[in-house]
Amino acid sequence: MPNLLFTVCWMPLVEIYFARRAKRLNVIKAKLLAADDAIPLLTLDNRRDNKITIRQLLGHLYNSFADYYLYRLSHTPSHHLRNFVYKYICKMNIGEDVVIYHGAEVREPANISMARGVIIGDNAILDARNGIHIGEDVVFASNVRIWTEQHDHEDPWFRCSTQKHDAVIIDKHAWIGSHTVILHSVHIGEGAVVAAGAVVTKDVEPFTIVAGIPARKIAFRNSDLRYQNNGKSRSFL
């Protein structure tokens, strides 16, 4: 009940944030890439001499509250309410019959698109700072991690903006196993299977099964896939 009340009461403030955020995402990214000395928000603390104004502090608090709101939302015991907030408040592109289970952590929801029948397992992390696009009837097991951004370990300021990172694309009927990790710029083909515990660093061909660290092809999957997820889910979770 506390999460439910929290989610509903703070909707207007959060809606304003994500509406503005969705419009500014591309502009912010472009400015970071264009400026040689630009330091992303995640690494400002690496500069000991950096001074923060009151306006920047308030902006930081607002950003942090929005992240906290998403965390509380992920534990709100209502699939319908969560999907409503993700779609209309957080500006995530969600199709029909999508199921997002409890505890899923979403970063930059406006950069996420999910086609009809997608199922996201509990405790997933969807880092969509550079985009995540998921096709129809894709299924995630529990604890899947997708990272579309990463720090440059060779950069003096440990920035993320020194390299090009593209969106993660997962085509329809793919099955992503439990505790898998998918890194930036990866394209997982139609009907592919990523075995539990794998770390995917390169594209995966359609209807192949990959496993291991890094993930490698180990078998092929049946290409005659006809199932459609109907949006049914466990209540409350």
Active site residues: 151
Instruction: Say if strands 168-170 and 132-134 run parallel, antiparallel, or are unpaired.
Output: parallel
**Residue 228 to residues 136, 137, 171, Cα–Cα distance (Å):** 8, 6, 14
* C-alpha to C-alpha distance for 199 and 150, rounded to whole angstroms: 15
> SS3 for 50?
coil
> SS3 for 159?
coil
Instruction: Determine phi and psi for 102, rounding to 5 degrees.
Output: -60, 150
Characterise 5 by phi-psi region: left (phi > 0), alpha (psi -120 to 50), beta (else): alpha
* C-alpha to C-alpha distance for 179 and 60, rounded to whole angstroms: 31
CA neighbor of 109 nearest in space, from 76, 138, 73, 80 = 73
* C-alpha to C-alpha distance for 34 and 45, rounded to whole angstroms: 21
